[in-house]
Amino acid sequence: MAMAFVRTGTLDAAAAVTPDAFIFTRSKLPWMVLPPEIPAFEIYYDMEALWPAESLARRAAALEG
């Protein structure tokens, strides 16, 4: 497997991980307040527009794996 996704809530120290963006916020509960300094998207986002070039290159290399 070249790549895996882990839900931060499953980590032993989940509070140590800061999100880069919030996705699928269209279905979030009304009482959930998102920090305004972190980008939020109703569905998904354009990775090409948001991710740094280095991250995109690592992802491409992993997928070619």
Q: Model-level pTM? A: 0.69
Q: Is residue 59 part of a domain?
A: yes
Q: Is residue 13 part of a domain?
A: no
Domain hosting residue 48, numbered range: 20-27+37-65
Number of residues that this document lists for the chain = 65
pLDDT in tens, the chain (65 residues): 567 778 888 889 988 988 888 999 999 999 999 999 999 999 999 989 988 999 999 989 988 86
Q: Is residue 46 part of a domain?
A: yes
Q: Is residue 44 part of a domain?
A: yes
Residue among 23, 20, 62 nearest 42 (CA):
23
- pLDDT value at position 14? 85
Q: Is residue 32 part of a domain?
A: no
Q: How many domains does the chain have?
A: 1
